[in-house]
Structure 1
Amino acid sequence: MFILFYYSATNFPLLTFSATCKSKAKKAKHMSAVEPLQEGQEVTDKTGRKWKLVKLLSQSTTELIYEVFQTVSRSNSKESNHILKLAAKDGRIFNEQNFLQRAAKPASVDKWIKQNKMDFLGIPSCVGFGLHAESYRFLIFPNMGQSLESVMEEEDELLPEKAVLQLACRIIDVLQYVHSNEYVHADINAENIYIQPGQKSQIYLVGYCHAFRYCPGGQHVEYREASRTPHEGTVEFISLDAHKGAAPSRRSDLQSLGYCMLRWHTGALPWTALTHPDQVATQKQRYMEDVPALLSHCFGKKRVSSALQTYLTAVMALQYSEQPDYSALKAGLSVALLQLGGSPERPLSF
């Protein structure tokens, strides 16, 4: 897990931006290492805009994150609040760029928002990309706030049910859009969820390094175990499909979100302490077939959330290529939210 830090333009405290590809060490050895570029150096994106590397914020064997500003030749002004992710040209960053160019065009996102009469949709906006020195690829993003992971670490407490349900409603909105564009996210976790400071109803789902085109040309991929590298993504939260090396599908994202909701609200899943992916997969298989037992384990003596039970029961029963009923899933969570005095549109209730 790689985390970098950068300053917001507001007086918000030091914020975190996850290096959205959380490749494990065993995967990293198959990817090209990258060497840092000198601070103060400029890179030029595909549109000809120049971006100055102000400060190296984070470094791993496979990617670098810089604080950057756009150099405007006439005024030499700075466009603040941007970061640049730099990695090997043909590494996972290419997969992320491919998703962003295909499925996350600002015009497409805006059209979706208008068609569905939404106030906001948390799809990240890539404001620039390009190649550098023949072997590097970079992506540029605006400040999207603070990761949910860092918020939870700062607060040092579990999320109340109301906040969990609000987050889930927002993420389901994003997933419905992503899935409608033939992709799945395949790595949902708190480090890939961002909250805009001062506007805590704006929730972003970022980190599309593992994004997979599950339905190219409208044809759903077939279920085939061992067709991909097993256990790809964040092991604690990935679906059983991913553990088995099958291509992730829509149910994979929704099941991962269910695991996250339980973790955020109760503190641990039955497999949280396990270190071997195969052991984690065994536990997920067991509890996938017995949702009440999973909830009983997580909630202990506390009252089990009926909203979480309904949601988990529904997503665990989905068939591999089945289209989820996003409206029904969100409606169930929204009703529970209203009973708790909240709504998806209001700022998060931490």
Structure 2
Amino acid sequence: MSFHFCPKCGTKLQPDFLFCPSCGEKLPAPAAAGPNLSSSKDTDSPERPTCAPVCARPPLGKTRKSFRLDREVDVSATQAASNNPTDNCAVTPGKQQAVTFNLSEALGRPAASPSPSKSPARAKAKALRHAGKQAEEGSKPSDKAAKTEEPPLLRRSAASPPAYASPKGKAKKAKRLFAVEPLEVGEEVTDTIGRKWKLEKLLGHHMTELLYKVDQASSRSRESDHVLKLGAKDGRIFNELNFLQRAAKPAMVHKWKKRKNMSFLGIPSCFGFGLHSDSYRFLIFPDMGRSLQSVIKEEECLSETDVLHLACSILDVLEYLHSNEYVHADIRAENVYIKPQSQVYLTGYCHSFRYRPCGQHVQYHEASRTPHEGAVEFISLDAHKGAAPSRRSDLQTLGYCMLRWHTGPLPWSDLTRPESVAAQKQRYLEDVPALLLHCFGRKKVSTAFEAYLTKAAALQYSEEPDYGALKAGLSAALLQLGGAMEQPLSF
């Protein structure tokens, strides 16, 4: 029996079919389509009848299995016959000649090279899928490409990376600052154990925290001996509360003072805490006196005796913090308070960091935290680079504060860009005598300051400082100037 094939889909047909049973296409008349294709057994005919080239069967719809195949696909031998006009003969399905072509070239697109991390089959399947989409959409650009394209003015040049950016990762974005709206004087807040506190006076207003003088509502005393620190519920005040509950319990502080034979340690004791209006968090502290910042505003520069006295007191606090696996990371005049009895408190633990959890010191990784976090004038070089603060960070920051309190502005105090400040600190960290000459000017350079700053600059990231030697050098200089830790400050 003779057979012929559908010119549309290539399905084998019987001679009496008028329509293709597969695609439904109407078949051409015998005169137009030419004589039927003879089978392979008809070899007696003296001459072969000519026939029109058979159209290639279009590829079927892609399936998940077909994506694993090679991009080079087989095409019917009729294309080879059309390219060779001398071979005008009937072709049977069993004798088709394989012709290959590249799908990417047929679609007018360069072939995509597969990623070395992916298998060849997946890379080829992805290229086929992408080529099919582009063939349907034409030259219309994708919305995703339009959205991800960065404007020329916002593109970052590869030749100018950001200062102190880690080569192994991106620096973290700056954390969100939670602004706090002041509460009305006279409003009452309730702590976690039910005590009510009445706001008497606003003492200080910062963008992220407020300080009030408060009195217990049930107390008949007119004198207010407590202060309330107010911040956003989800702000940094929660970090301070966590530190106070973990490392500054009154029993722990008392045990440390007994061990070190100390009568006073400037760690504030949290008297109470709670939430207010579901958007505020507050801490209650005993009255700690006057802030050092208010003193500096009046006197501008402190005497060397007073600065050495303050440094020795703060060193005692830092040794306690570091022994309990924490660093302060925000030493500045706003966080130092002095009572009339010359008791020096170090407050403001919103930036405190646990540098040695479970006894294991954190590793040094630049850009692991937000760069330039804290008071830019006083933070350490590690903080500028986005590394986690360590014990040497606190000691270097204390050295900058000592210079600022005694000599006035630092070499970088007038700079506005944090990157410029970090560059100046890097320069003077490698040349401490030059820093002292710049700060002291024509005055005689303090040998105690020079010795302290040199030791602080030489510390390694995870090295434990010799607190005894540091304090001994400052105390000896204080005695030479006629001062003593038991004597009151001059202000």
Q: Which TM-score band applies after superposition, normalised by the shorter structure?
A: 0.7 to 0.9
- Paired residue for 2:396? 255
- Paired residue for 1:94? 238
Distance 1:64 1:259, change over 3 A: closer
Structure 1 position 190 matched with structure 2 position 333: yes
Secondary structure class of the residue paired with 2:224: strand
Q: What's the C-alpha RMSD, in Å, of the aligned pairs?
A: 1.8
What whole-Å deviation, never above 9, does each CA across 1:31-57 have from its counterpart, x for those lacking one?
A: 333344343332211122111223444
Distance 1:284 1:320, change over 3 A: same
Cα distance in 1 for partners of 2:207, 2:483 equals 43
Contact 1:169 1:334 in 2 (8 A): yes
Contact 1:166 1:344 in 2 (8 A): yes
Contact 1:71 1:77 in 2 (8 A): no
Rg larger for: 2
- Paired residue for 1:332? 473
Distance 1:270 1:35, change over 3 A: closer
Identity of aligned residues (%): 72
Structure 1 position 62 matched with structure 2 position 208: yes
Letter in 2 for 1:48: G
Letter in 1 for 2:315: I
Structure 1 position 273 matched with structure 2 position 381: no
What whole-Å deviation, never above 9, does each CA across 1:94-120 have from its counterpart, x for those lacking one?
A: 011111111111111111111100121
* Cα offset, 1:189, TM superposition: 1.0
Cα distance in 2 for partners of 1:39, 1:300 equals 47
Cα distance in 2 for partners of 1:241, 1:230 equals 9
Structure 1 position 292 matched with structure 2 position 433: yes
Trace 1:33-52 onto structure 2 (pairs within 5 A). 33-52=179-198
Contact 1:56 1:67 in 2 (8 A): yes
* Cα offset, 1:78, TM superposition: 5.5
Aligned with residue 206 of structure 1, among 327, 344, 347: 347
What whole-Å deviation, never above 9, does each CA across 1:151-184 have from its counterpart, x for those lacking one?
A: 122234x211111111111100000001111110
Contact 1:70 1:78 in 2 (8 A): no
Contact 1:71 1:78 in 2 (8 A): no
Secondary structure class of the residue paired with 1:80: coil
Cα distance in 1 for partners of 2:260, 2:229 equals 32
Aligned with residue 314 of structure 1, among 455, 460, 475: 455
Letter in 2 for 1:285: Q
- Paired residue for 2:163? none
Distance 1:130 1:274, change over 3 A: same
Quick one: higher RCO (CA 8 Å, sep 6+), 1 or 2? Answer: 1
Letter in 2 for 1:294: L
* Cα offset, 1:125, TM superposition: 1.4
- Paired residue for 1:138? 282
Structure 1 position 237 matched with structure 2 position 381: no
User: Unpaired runs of 5+ in structure 2?
Assistant: 1-172
* Cα offset, 1:71, TM superposition: 2.1
Contact 2:174 2:370 in 1 (8 A): no
* Cα offset, 1:58, TM superposition: 4.2
Cα distance in 2 for partners of 1:303, 1:322 equals 31
TM-score (norm 2): 0.62
Aligned with residue 405 of structure 2, among 264, 270, 282: 264
Cα distance in 2 for partners of 1:77, 1:100 equals 28
Cα distance in 2 for partners of 1:79, 1:101 equals 28
Letter in 2 for 1:239: S
- Paired residue for 1:8? none
Cα distance in 1 for partners of 2:427, 2:354 equals 28
Cα distance in 2 for partners of 1:327, 1:315 equals 13
- Paired residue for 1:9? none
Distance 1:62 1:266, change over 3 A: closer
What whole-Å deviation, never above 9, does each CA across 1:266-321 have from its counterpart, x for those lacking one?
A: 11211111111110000000010111111111112211111111111101000000
Structure 1 position 53 matched with structure 2 position 196: no
TM-score (norm 1): 0.86
Structure 1 position 178 matched with structure 2 position 324: no
Distance 1:35 1:150, change over 3 A: closer
* Cα offset, 1:260, TM superposition: 0.8
Greater per-residue strand proportion = 1
